[in-house]
Amino acid sequence: MKKIIETENLRTNFYTYEGVVKALNDVCITVNHGETFGLVGESGCGKSVTVRSMMRIIQSPGKVESGKVLLFLDENGEQEAVDLLQQSESYMQSCCGDQISMIFQEPNAALNPIMSIGEQVAESFLFHRKKSLSEASLERLNAQDCKVPFKGIFKNLYKKYHEDENAFVFKLLSHIPLLNRWDFLIRQEAFKRAVEIISKLGIPHAEDIAVQFPHNLSGGMKQRIVIAIALACSPMLLIADEATSNLDVTIQAQILELLKDLKKKHISSILLITHDLGVVAETCDRVGVMYAGSLCEVAESRELFGNPSHPYTKALLESVPKFHQEGALKTIEGNVPNLVTPPAGCRFHPRCKHRMDICDKEVPNLLEIGKNHSVACHLFGDK
Amino acid sequence: MLSTHKLVNILQAYIIRRLFFLFFVIFGVSLLVFTIQYSYGPDRRAMLYVDSPQQAKDIPELKKKYGLNDPYPVQYVRYLKEIAMGNFGYSIVAARPVWDAFLHYLPITIELNLFVVPLFIIIGIWLGKQAGIKRNTTYDHVTRILAIIGWSLPTFLFALILLMIFYGKFGLFEPAMLSANIEAFILDNPDKYIKYTGMYTIDGILNGEFGITWDAIKHLFLPVLTQVIVIVAILMRVMRSSMVEEISKDYVITAQAKGVDSKTIFNKHVKRNALIPVITIAGQLAALSMEGSIAVEMIFNRHGIGNWLAHAALKLDTSVIMFMCLFMAVIFVVTNLIIDLLYAYIDPRIRLT
Ligand SMILES: Nc1ncnc2c1ncn2[C@@H]1O[C@H](COP(=O)(O)OP(=O)(O)OP(=O)(O)O)[C@@H](O)[C@H]1O
Ligand SMILES: [Mg+2]
């Protein structure tokens, strides 16, 4: 299988008043073309920070310190990978939302409260599909029954825009009130496409929904809109950051089903973040387990559930309630470490039952212990 | 989605309802100011009509004439009747009826505000937006310090400093409303200069005398500058903190992940959201400046509402003060109405009901 995105030793810090929060500690994740990769771990272990670092949308006071985020654009792996961390701001703008896009944890907060649903979805097209939008607008202008005043002027403008969208005229026009509305046909076209994608996601009466504002919609609807925004330009990689955590169980199942369905039709890979191990078992091909900012174990999901190797993974799986539960639920002893002063060596060692002398001295490397199964633990160091 | 027709109906109903509410506010304010001045007692109030010790013997007569000994409700109803007919009493300091004096002074304050209000709104919001975007940079620190200076220096001191620098040092921008020769020209040529609005800048244009407009603008420069700086200092900080709060919201990340460029994020997503709390403050500040800044009008020798009010307060010109209370009540009700309409325009979550 070919890789689509890979992080190498990603390190991200937050410079807060309490000190430097070392949120990520050399995280290495690989997602392949065509697979669903699950990322699990306790709350606060850095799942969101990992994917946000990958898309370079960490908010201040956070900063990606070192590492690489390699994006493999074509499936055959012939083309050179691009390191997203080295790219310019404008490259990231053209990449985010087009090749990679993200669904967010909180549908309530993820939408702009004072912008209509349709406009928010249309923005994806406006920023990534300028060419085809201006083409469609030109077509409309050229149609016989098109009634637009100053048709000739608009035709010229749109033709010019189609050829060179960065021309000086458009920069000038965008600063003049009223004249900055010259692109209304493009906006209408983008809105039309937004309505299309919204209805594709199984929302009835998409035209009516598109002119509504987020507060008029239910949580599940909002999450679908957030998904619509992410899917608008058919990305290669969709990152779903706990897309279902805040929804009730039925809606959750619907959304997961929707994602599965969309993966078949439109997108290549999904990076699914969740702390619901059931969801992982059901949907993911491979799983990565994170603890306190570092990756402890990566394996195919069947392998991971059948043969968990890292002490933390074992503890995590044991703490899931089972139907035939006997006795009290097992919990992991101790607390999640403070990431301002994380434990030296393996970050899990203070809570680990199999602690050895070396554990608080050296950071364990991620070692392959089986087919597609890697563990970062000193227990496996000798093998 | 609402049709335009329906929207107009809702708006109409809302505005009418709010203006109806204005009556109650005026009733309340009139009761309050009347009660306060009533607490002075008949003799004190009769004294207001007396200019010299010789006339003091007239006091019993005055009390009878104006019914100052009548019971409280009778006097209040009489007062209400008079203001309903547009009679707000006589201003001693202006030596004419309050309403006439008001119409005379109002254009001068409005003229100042015509420049001050748009300027402080545009500049304050723009500076605040930049400071919020460039939080914790030199720009932010410098504007913060300037803002602290701007609002902690008393206005009169600030006005004096500006006057000292510009007029004292360079002889620019003298304090008055017009230069002496222009004023003489207006007095001498009542046929060429017709007073339409009472605002020199606008009347100058309407009469085709652009020299007058230019002269008036030159004289407006310092007072406008003083007032704008003081108000901008407040508004800018409000806008900044509102921006900072909005920038950390999740929808900003959504927009970033969508590939929206930062200019659009700031100007289209964040700014509009950040404006919502700022509108209230900006509206209140604009309403307050309708009262005329006393310090600015006194120091720059502009005979507007603020100047009049200051003199009236010193001379215990009660009719003026009672009238100004009513006037400001109207201004605030109308401002709040405008603020609410703006709210409803910007924020779809707000319904006009
Ligand atoms: N803005 C911030 N300022 C300071 N520290 C932060 C910030 N954002 C994240 N962190 C730190 O990064 C760590 C990882 O946070 P992250 O949001 O990635 O957790 P998560 O795994 O996504 O958890 P959850 O399951 O609750 O979403 C947290 O422990 C937190 O201390
Ligand atoms: Mg998270």
Complex confidence, ipTM: 0.89
> Which uninterrupted H or E stretch holds B90?
strand B90-91
Which chain A residue has the Cα nearest residue B248? A59
CA distances from A184 to A116, A278, B3 (A): 16, 47, 21
Ranges of chain B with pLDDT below 50 = none
What is d(CA B224, CA B282) in angstroms, rounded to the nearest whole number? Answer: 16
Q: How confident is the model at residue A234 (pLDDT cuts 50, 70, 90)?
A: confident
Q: Look at the alpha carbons of B192, B195, B198, B201 in this order and tell me if their dihedral is positive or negative.
A: negative
Of the candidates B123, B124, B348, B129, which has an alpha carbon nearest to the alpha carbon of residue B242?
B129
Residue A224, in any domain of the structure: no
Domain of B295 in residue numbering reads as: 101-177+223-315
Q: DSSP state, A24?
A: E
Residues A67, A129: one domain? no
List pLDDT tens digits, range B106-135. 999 999 999 999 999 999 999 999 999 998
Residues in chain A with CB shorter than 8 Å from the CB of B258 are 96-97, 101, 123-124, 127, 229
Q: Does a structural domain hold residue B335?
A: no
The packing angle between helices B271-289 and B318-346, to 10°, is 170
Model confidence band, residue A78 (pLDDT cutoffs 50, 70, 90): low
Angstrom distances, CA of residue A167 to CA of A88, A121, A129, A163: 21, 26, 17, 9
Question: From start to end of chain A, where are the E strands?
Answer: 3-16, 19-27, 30-32, 36-40, 62-71, 82-83, 100-103, 237-241, 269-273, 286-291, 294-300, 367-370, 373-375
- Assigned domain for B157 exists: yes
Pocket-testing residue among A24, A42, A47, A106, ligand 1, by greatest number of atoms within 8 A of Cβ:
A47
On whether residue B346 sits in a domain, the answer given is no
Residues with CB under 6 A from ligand 1: A 14, 16, 21, 23, 41, 43-49, 62, 105, 242, 275, 339
For chain B, the domain total comes to 2
B106/B166 same-domain check: yes
Give the closest residue (by CA) to ligand 1 atom 22: A48
Give pLDDT, residue A200.
Answer: 85
Q: Are B60 and B143 part of one and the same domain?
A: no
Are the beta carbons of A215 and B349 closer than 8 angstroms? yes
- The whole-number average pLDDT for the span A244-252 is 81
Position B53 scores a pLDDT of 78
Confidence of residue A36 (pLDDT cuts 50, 70, 90): very high
Calpha distance B103→B96 (Å, rounded): 11
Residue B110: how many CA atoms within 13 Å on its side-chain side?
13
Predicted local distance difference test score (pLDDT) of residue A77: 64
pTM of the full structure: 0.87
CATH number for the domain harbouring residue A65: 3.40.50.300
Compute the distance between CA of residue B266 and CA of residue B253 in angstroms, rounded to an integer: 12
* pLDDT score for A86: 92
What is the residue with the minimal CA distance to atom 27 of ligand 1?
A43
> Is there a contact between A304 and A69 (Cβ–Cβ < 8 Å)?
no
Residues of B in contact with A112 (CB under 8 A): 251, 254-255, 269, 273
The rounded distance, in Å, linking the Cα atoms of B65 and B59 is: 10
Q: What is the pLDDT of residues A102-117, one digit of tens each?
A: 998 888 899 999 999 9
Q: Are both B115 and B259 inside the same structural domain? A: yes
Range of the domain at A351: 290-380
- Domain end residue (candidates: B91, B124, B154): B91
Per-residue pLDDT reduced to its tens digit, A267-299: 789 999 988 888 888 889 999 999 999 999 999
pLDDT tens digits, A4-33: 999 999 999 999 998 999 999 889 999 998
Q: Please state, for a pLDDT cut of 90, what percent of chain B lies above it.
A: 48
**DSSP codes of every residue in B165-183:** IIIIIH--S-SSSS-HHHH
Q: Considering A143, A167, A193, which residue would you say is the last residue of a domain?
A: A193
Q: Phi, psi (5° rounding) for residue B40? A: -75, -20
Whether residue A220 is contained in a domain is answered as no
Specify the ligand 1 atom closest to the Cα of A16.
Answer: 4
- Chain B nearest-CA residue for A121: B258
- Ligand at minimal distance from the CA of A50 is 1
pLDDT digits (tens, 9 = 90+) for A121-177: 999 999 999 888 888 888 888 887 777 888 888 888 888 888 888 888 888 888 888
Are A113 and B256 in contact (CB < 8 Å)?
Answer: no
Q: Are residues B79 and B105 in the same domain?
A: no
**SS3 track for B93-124:** CCCEEHHHHHHHHHHHHHHHHHHHHHHHHHHH
Which bound ligand lies closest to the C-alpha atom of A290?
A: 1
Tokens of B169: 């040092």
pLDDT in tens, A316-346: 888 877 777 677 777 777 778 888 988 888 8
Find out whether A261 and A230 touch, Cβ atoms under 8 Å: no
Residues A317 and A343 in one domain: yes
Tell me how close the Cα of B71 comes to any Cα of chain A, in angstroms. 56
**By the CB < 8 Å criterion, does A225 face chain B?**
no
Cα A5 from Cα B242, distance rounded (Å): 37
pLDDT for B2: 59
Whether residue A383 has pLDDT greater than 60: no
